[in-house]
Chains A and B, each alone.
Chain A
Amino acid sequence: MNIFIIDEKKITQIGELSVVSISLKEIKDNPPLESEIFIVNCENKKYAKAACEAIRRDTNPAIYLKPIILINSNENFTINNIADGYFTIEQTDALNNSFFPASYGSINQRIEEIQGFKGVKDTNIALKVLRYIMTRKMSLTPFRGSGNRFGLYYPNIDIFMRSKDETIYNTLDFLEDQNLLSQEFYEKVHLCIHCNSSFLNFMEVCPHCGSADLEDDDLVHHFDCAHVAPAKNFKQNGSLICPKCDKELKGLGVDYDKPATVFRCNSCRHTSQNPDISTTCFHCSTVTEPEDLQKRKIKKYSITALGENAAIHGIDQMFIQILDEKIKILPYQAFKILLSSEIERIRRYDISKSSVILFQITQSEQFYAQLGKRTRQIFSEIGDILNSVLRTCDITTTINEVTFISLLPETDSTGADVALRRLKEKFSVLIESNFEKQIEINTSSISLNKDQDVESVLTGVIENATAN
């Protein structure tokens, strides 16, 4: 069994367990794909956190999906939430060899189910989240904590992202919209309208002058004489004496009660029973009325059958199905065969010019975040665009759902550029009418000649992709 440990001390043995020691730098530069479990030593917490981040932020499913187990941790270490298991210092001493496969083998089994991932990089955060949930057979439950502005967060997927913005929430919304995840209400949070923080101070304030310097007192109603006044008006040496009829009050519920509470403002002396509530953000000091606060539902997510399928085969397959209704998208391998025979044809006859073009939507996270429920419609429109610009003799494939590569036979570089420009124009219109934030398009083209092979053409067209 291949167990790798990331620590500073180069341990090779934990109890009865033999482990391979690896440094943080190695994890980042050359992660061991054969590892079945990563053990992280928490003696240095900063180091341990960085190790976990390095693993989970990798783009290779063979790395980022692998179980992480913490040793020498303690009950309160926040990283525990993102690991697949943790052992406190005492538990670490009692570890034995047979423990790991029984508990974590199933995760590795599911990682194996994800077909064709070898060598493919999962740069799509939505896919990473989906695959993570799928391999863990877990529901994604928010944790409570002050490390996050919402006060509720998903530590085990938050770690995928470097930035602490809302991308992860938009990604979850996207996956829910696509029916890849199902949701269950967990909690509603109130957020500052200015900075989205949920750390708000709710204060009772005077409805007259807005001061928070209020004093509350119970009203006392003396049944005998119908006198009503704040309790402090009654108090005299420990017993309650009615200021109207001078009788001593016998007992609560017997001859008096407390029908309400009143608030008296120390600034303007205004008395009211219903002070206004104002909220002040602990982050940015914005003062808001509660009804103006942003509200956000925080949910608990589970993977759907459709989501399991997308986790195994990739999300792009789903979009390609939609595109397929409008334009024939060849599988990548088939495209490569056709491309190689076209290169062969050119090499043999050397009488015609053909081109390969690439068309790619950048900022794919933004793109997904804004897609939402319109995914089907927008991909259908993308299909229409490709269909209207490309000829029936052109062949198209995708390397992921936002990158399209087409082979244009009998087309020189001028013709290829015309096609790309028209694609770009039409796509810009689609973007402008459907997306709030700017989404850019990268393109590139390459003319086939007899000195090239398939790989150099594809590498070239991918690497040359720019916004121009």
Chain B
Amino acid sequence: MQLLTNALDFINSQDAVDLFYYFWFFLVFDFSRYVLADTFFLMVYFFKKKKNRPVRVDARLRLFKENPLISIIVPGKNEGRYIPELAKSLNRQTYKNIETIIVDDGSDDNTFKILRKLKNEGKIDSIFRNDVRGGKASAANLALMYSNGKYVVHLDADTHLKEDSVEQIIIPFYMDSSIGAVGGDLRVKNIYANLATSLQSIDYMKSISTGRVVNSQLGILRIISGAFGAFRKDVLDQIKGWDVGPGLDGDLTLKIRKLGLKVKHEPEAVCYTSVPDSFIKLIKQRYRWDRSLVRFRLRKHSDLLSFKNRNFNIFNFLTVVDNLLFNMVMNFKWWIYIFYIIFLNPKFIAIIFVINYLLYFSTNVIEFILATKLYGKTMRFQEYMLIIFLPLMPLYHGIFLRLIRTYAHIMEIIHRSSFEDKWNPWKVSKVVKKQRF
């Protein structure tokens, strides 16, 4: 309380310009980008959604009338235990004309036995097995090789779908023929496993669901998640499938954009996925994700930033800039901000910290409310209950994740260490590291 009173006194005692000096980071980046922009673009989304209802109904009718085959491809290693639940959710789909292709990428457990059993029971259609692990990209490419569908839906093994998710993720293709890929909305399956999964659940609601809807509106969606993403088969064939990871999902998305096709996020296509259930696993996952940013945006797809590029497209440019800005640059700016505050006025650190905390907390509340609105009918009771964890979010988001990100960026730039990641088998990393980018 005392601190809060002090904080108010502090604010009152400063003029607007000084306040900006103290809180420029929040005002410039987070507030404008996440509160103002998100609110505005979500409103636009809701408005458009309402307006597009008839178009959507018509698209759905045309989808069911044409009834194209849809290939569901699921690569994975040692994930056999998840497949029965996934297969069950696929067999319950409202859209029936699907084929399920599962790739066992060199599992050394009973995965293949489980797959064989499911296949014999007719619950999945095809299984392929690599005796030696080839990595996620090659497993997905193997499945793609034998996909017969007009559309290919890539799923992670540890997910399951809502019963109408396949139709929901395909409908956008029938609303706009220039769409090349559609991302599904990821929801957390193990929300209450522990604190780590609960905090990630909120994060998923805000940044993944809301963030992707907004980016999708802006035409700057930069990633179709491999956990649940749908692609036109002809497009995948044209770009010849996935390239070596990490970050292969974002990489593929950018390749599709380079063809001049749109990528969309579809919040109504719901996919439940497991998130890392310990902070250690979470750190490892985030570390991997954050490194891949530098690698693909800055090195492999630097042509998107070049105005001299013949295929230059302002949206692709913005996609990369947004991503770089709000991840990499902002991250380094944040450190500058910290040093700036310490240097500028060390005696106010506690007060500034509290005020920042309150600002970020309110941001989180606003974002949570927006997410709730976005989820609409698909919002579950357990997701409402996440509200009790909101006070922890500024620390989780502002400090915990930021530390990981900073470390990852530094490591990637200095060491190119992502090539040695366990993500790829050593045989692949070794070859890829020798390549130029």
Contacts and interface: CB of A to CB of B under 8 A. Distances in A.
A219 B142 contact: yes
A35 B310 CA distance: 107
A263 to B, nearest CB: 11
Contact of B131 (A224, A228, A243, A260): A260
A294 to B, nearest CB: 21
A61 to B, nearest CB: 56
Nearest to A224: B431
B124 to A, nearest CB: 12
A273 B130 CA distance: 10
A273 B128 contact: yes
Interface stretch (B11-19, B241-249, B381-389): B241-249
Interface string B211-250: 0000000000000000000000000000011111000100
A226 B241 contact: yes
Interface string B111-124: 00000100000000
A226 B137 contact: yes
A259 B116 contact: no
A272 B427 contact: no
Interface of B: 106, 116, 126-132, 134-135, 137-142, 145-146, 240-244, 248, 427-428, 430-432, 435
B141 A228 contact: yes
7 contacts: A219-B142, A221-B142, A227-B141, A257-B132, A259-B138, A272-B126, A273-B128
Given A260-B128, A272-B126, A225 B134 contact: no
Nearest to B427: A223
A259 B106 contact: yes
Contacts of B132: 257, 259
Contact of A221 (B134, B243, B435): B134
Given A259-B131, A273-B129, A274-B127, A224 B435 contact: yes
B69 to A, nearest CB: 14
| Size category of the binding interface on chain A | 20 to 34
A214 to B, nearest CB: 15
A178 B106 CA distance: 51
A179 interface: no
A224 B141 contact: no
B138 A221 contact: yes
Nearest to B143: A228
A257 B106 CA distance: 13
A244 interface: yes
A273 B127 contact: yes
Contacts of B140: 226
A226 B138 contact: yes
A219 B145 CA distance: 11
B178 to A, nearest CB: 25
Interface in A241-268: 243-245, 253-255, 257, 259-260, 262
Task: Give the 10 A-B residue pairs with the shortest CB-CB distance, closest first.
Answer: A226-B137, A259-B130, A244-B240, A223-B431, A228-B142, A226-B138, A228-B141, A223-B428, A221-B134, A226-B244
Looking at A219, A226, A272, which has the most chain B CB atoms within 10 Å of its CB? A226
Given A226-B135, A243-B240, A259-B138, 6 more contacts: A219-B130, A223-B430, A225-B243, A226-B241, A228-B145, A257-B132
A228 B138 CA distance: 6
A223 B134 CA distance: 8
B235 to A, nearest CB: 15
Contacts of A59: none
Contacts of A244: 240-241
A225 B432 CA distance: 8
A382 to B, nearest CB: 49
A243 B237 CA distance: 11
Nearest to B105: A259
At the interface, is chain B mostly helix, strand, loop or mixed? mixed
Looking at A224, A255, A260, which has the most chain B CB atoms within 10 Å of its CB? A260
A229 interface: yes
Contacts of B241: 226-227, 244
Contacts of B129: 260, 273-274
A272 B428 CA distance: 25
A271 interface: yes
Contact of B432 (A221, A223, A253): A223
Contact of A225 (B106, B142, B240): B240
Interface of A: 219, 221, 223-229, 243-245, 253-255, 257, 259-260, 262, 271-274
A226 B135 CA distance: 8
A274 B242 CA distance: 25
Contacts of B128: 260, 262, 273
A292 to B, nearest CB: 14
Nearest to A233: B145
Contact of B244 (A224, A259, A262): A224
A226 to B, nearest CB: 3
Contacts of A243: 240
B149 to A, nearest CB: 14
B238 to A, nearest CB: 11
A253 to B, nearest CB: 8
B291 to A, nearest CB: 18
A226 B431 contact: no
Nearest to A225: B243
A224 B134 contact: no
B141 A257 contact: no
Given A244-B240, A257-B427, A226 B130 contact: no
A228 B139 CA distance: 8
B77 to A, nearest CB: 12
A227 B140 CA distance: 9
Contacts of B428: 223, 226
Contacts of A260: 128-131
Looking at B139, B240, B242, which has the most chain A CB atoms within 10 Å of its CB? B240
A449 B241 CA distance: 105
A255 B132 CA distance: 14
Contacts of B243: 225-226
Contacts of B146: 271
Contact of A274 (B116, B137, B430): B116
Nearest to A243: B240
A353 B428 CA distance: 103
A225 B300 CA distance: 13
Nearest to A227: B141
B134 A259 contact: yes
A326 B137 CA distance: 79
A257 B141 CA distance: 15
A260 B128 CA distance: 8
B244 A228 contact: no
A223 B244 CA distance: 8
A410 B435 CA distance: 112
A257 B137 CA distance: 15
Contact of B145 (A229, A254, A272, A274): A229
Contacts of B116: 274
A245 to B, nearest CB: 8
A221 to B, nearest CB: 5
Looking at B116, B142, B428, which has the most chain A CB atoms within 10 Å of its CB? B142
A228 B134 contact: yes
Contacts of A255: 431
A258 to B, nearest CB: 9
A273 B104 CA distance: 11
B331 to A, nearest CB: 29
Looking at B127, B131, B134, which has the most chain A CB atoms within 10 Å of its CB? B134
Contacts of A272: 126
B360 to A, nearest CB: 40
B240 A227 contact: yes
Contacts of A274: 116, 127, 129
